[in-house]
Structure 1
């Protein structure tokens, strides 16, 4: 008679039983893997069939290529034409002006997948994943004028000083009824009550609940991608919502905003609604912003350099604000990139119109929220939600950086209402472009090739806009002039 096999502890076990292999932790990661070997296993474990290799263009629009997952893990070479990053939002290629030039060969830019951004695409019917890519040239060097590389350049400038910027974006957007004819104004969608939601619903839970099934899909889609929403609220405008993200690394947060915009649009379309990030989608209604909370920590100690050991404000904190006051009007085109963006920046419409700063003052461009010393930060309230998140973050951080390295002294804080009266910002797109081009301090921190490229594209977009005859012109000029 055979003897029972027992474990070291004396417990009986079957001769055929084996310890169950533990699932590697990285396979359960919803966002990002470490290397190509992990990527191959991650894709196989999920049964992924297709991969979307995407990268943001100057407008923040996802560009790229789709391929079978088996092709992807063979590390096949992927490329995009360089002209894509000189294209306007309407798909045109502007004339060469100033320092704006095309590659005479329209050569390829190589897509380099950042595997730390690998995630599922939960709204696709076939198992699909996505990965954000950087762009390099034939020599393997980063392409300086592409948005993700511009932001990385700014973060690297901080690192050279021993600093690490920390950001937390807040994104506002409108839900609107489907609009297939651009000649007609946008309208709020119908909620679950069967009636379009009215304005004046700031922080209204009932306003959020009007679209609870859509919002549930946003949450589910974000969870499936490993995107973390901090809070969601209803804003002042009709069916205007705001999503806040947790603070963290600027490139990581820009990636999240890039993916989240796409996610919100897809969730809205699933419910027969449009989600728009236009800065000013409805006349006489509040515009949509992308507020950016910013602080800076010392890499060696992890301490917030805006606060001294006794908890008081530091000179670097003041200089960061001074830099934003001085330079942001010259970088505003990176935060307000379209003609429509400047319709938001008007007096008495819940948006800043100057470079004032203050403590817990939401009428200023630069607000210092109430916090303890470790969380001392500056909120930049100027960027609009139509901005490319990589470029808006790069501009805001670059201006604060220049303030710190140049010791720029800010004005005194204001406790008054600051968004009324005189406007001290560029009033339109062309003025903002000219100010950016003329500021040579941006050459090192942002790169001259980038600013020249952005200027050329924005001038092209303005010329396209000037070909359009608006309803205002037909109403007031048709029979009166």
Structure 2
């Protein structure tokens, strides 16, 4: 009995909490390539076996989660997974530090996991492991990336059944009109709004702010700042959690980048700074702009190289429909001082608040991959000691005449990404080749599709 108590006392606190909860099951999840959480319930005994320390810990999870698209159609061009390998189990290991309870699921314990290779090494194509590799390199540089994410998303009075019956046409927003920062519209679905504010923090996703945005039924959330991996966890959990909570109120949230040509798109802004564990290394009181040299190099890295990683933050066909002049989404790799029309908005002031807001990504991102891309591009600038020679824009792209516009299609950015030495240096050849193949697949599905635009334009007249 004494030995058992000693072993239990050395247990991870999350395991003790699960044992003491008396639960019979645990919910676990992993991120697929598109940032969709794929998961299952595990019986408590199975969970406790899977949660054993390395090298014995882990459980089998079909590697098809990296071999199919968002609609469960298997890629025909992947090499690391696919029909040719028979879709075996991959080893998923639980990160016990991700423990939380799901308030809207009777408080069931919940954990996120990562994939590892048969040799026990981090999987080269696991999105969460990709971000962790970038953060490990940051650690070698002596910096700790901090981040915060914001999402805009539309909410519809739909269910999976009603939406299927409409065959993808004419979703009904929960409120009409263009009414940003509206207390009136917040009140219309106040129980849903309150549930997001009250239940997300209980789920380990603290919210700094939540309000309506400009558009019918659109909200914006700001997730509390934190270490980059924790922030990406919070972001992917928020997207799934909002959908699960919304279903309770007859609301279907959509994080699609642009659902309607006449309306603004949905952003997924990422705020960043670098810390030494105590101090914000982006702040310099002696600088006229309050920007440290480190901050300037980080920003120079994003200005110079982030577009080479574009499929990681513009991952879908629809992502590029958001990149329209006059609709807030930035269309050039520009920076500015507190300028919301720039891709990179420098917010410089107090030691605590000085940070970079990267405004390129949309709400349709895989948070792990988008976070990995922006931090890698910035840290590449730090590693190379890049100087910030590009001047800030003023107004909307004033001073950006010589800066090329971002590509408008997924296949263009994917081709650049595949050829990027910087992307290969930071993410590895296996990840770049696999992710590029998945985006090429996505493009081919689009080429084969027949859209309502084509029917309206050609059906009768041609």
TM-score (norm 1): 0.86
How far 1:445 sits from its partner (Å)? 1.2
How far 1:245 sits from its partner (Å)? 1.3
* Equivalent position of 2:47 in the other structure: 72
Q: Is 1:94 equivalent to 2:75 in the alignment?
A: yes
Determine the C-alpha separation between the residues in 1 that align with 2:122 and 2:336. Answer: 39
Describe the SS at the equivalent of 1:215.
Answer: helix
Answer whether contact 2:77 2:441 (CA < 8 A) is retained. Answer: no
* Equivalent position of 1:344 in the other structure: 322
Q: Deviations over 1:183-233 (max 9, x none)?
A: 4132312xxxxxx3311x111222212111001222232133232111111
Describe the SS at the equivalent of 2:97.
Answer: helix
Change (3 A) 1:36 1:286: farther
Describe the SS at the equivalent of 2:103.
Answer: coil
TM-score (norm 2): 0.89
Describe the SS at the equivalent of 2:439.
Answer: helix
* Equivalent position of 1:57 in the other structure: 32
Determine the C-alpha separation between the residues in 1 that align with 2:10 and 2:42. Answer: 19
Answer whether contact 2:148 2:223 (CA < 8 A) is retained. Answer: yes
Q: Is 1:418 equivalent to 2:394 in the alignment?
A: no
Answer whether contact 1:55 1:133 (CA < 8 A) is retained. Answer: yes
Describe the SS at the equivalent of 2:146.
Answer: strand
Q: Deviations over 1:417-469 (max 9, x none)?
A: 12999971121100010010110112221111111111111111121122221
* Equivalent position of 2:255 in the other structure: 277
CA RMSD of aligned residues (A): 2.3
Determine the C-alpha separation between the residues in 2 that align with 1:159 and 1:232. Answer: 32
Q: Is 1:308 equivalent to 2:284 in the alignment?
A: yes
Answer whether contact 1:90 1:461 (CA < 8 A) is retained. Answer: no
Describe the SS at the equivalent of 1:456.
Answer: helix
Which ranges of structure 1 fall in alignment gaps of 5 or more residues?
Answer: 1-32, 190-195
* Equivalent position of 2:223 in the other structure: 245
Change (3 A) 1:331 1:57: same
Determine the C-alpha separation between the residues in 1 that align with 2:385 and 2:298. Answer: 8
Determine the C-alpha separation between the residues in 2 that align with 1:261 and 1:234. Answer: 16
Q: Deviations over 1:136-167 (max 9, x none)?
A: 12211110210000000111111111111111
Describe the SS at the equivalent of 1:268.
Answer: helix
Rg comparison, structure with higher value: 1
Determine the C-alpha separation between the residues in 2 that align with 1:85 and 1:142. Answer: 14
Determine the C-alpha separation between the residues in 2 that align with 1:226 and 1:100. Answer: 34
Which ranges of structure 2 fall in alignment gaps of 5 or more residues?
Answer: 1-7, 52-57
How far 1:393 sits from its partner (Å)? 0.5
> Residue 109 of structure 1 is aligned with which of 75, 86, 90?
90
Q: Is 1:320 equivalent to 2:298 in the alignment?
A: yes
Describe the SS at the equivalent of 1:260.
Answer: helix
Q: Is 1:263 equivalent to 2:244 in the alignment?
A: no
* Structure number having the greater helix percentage: 2
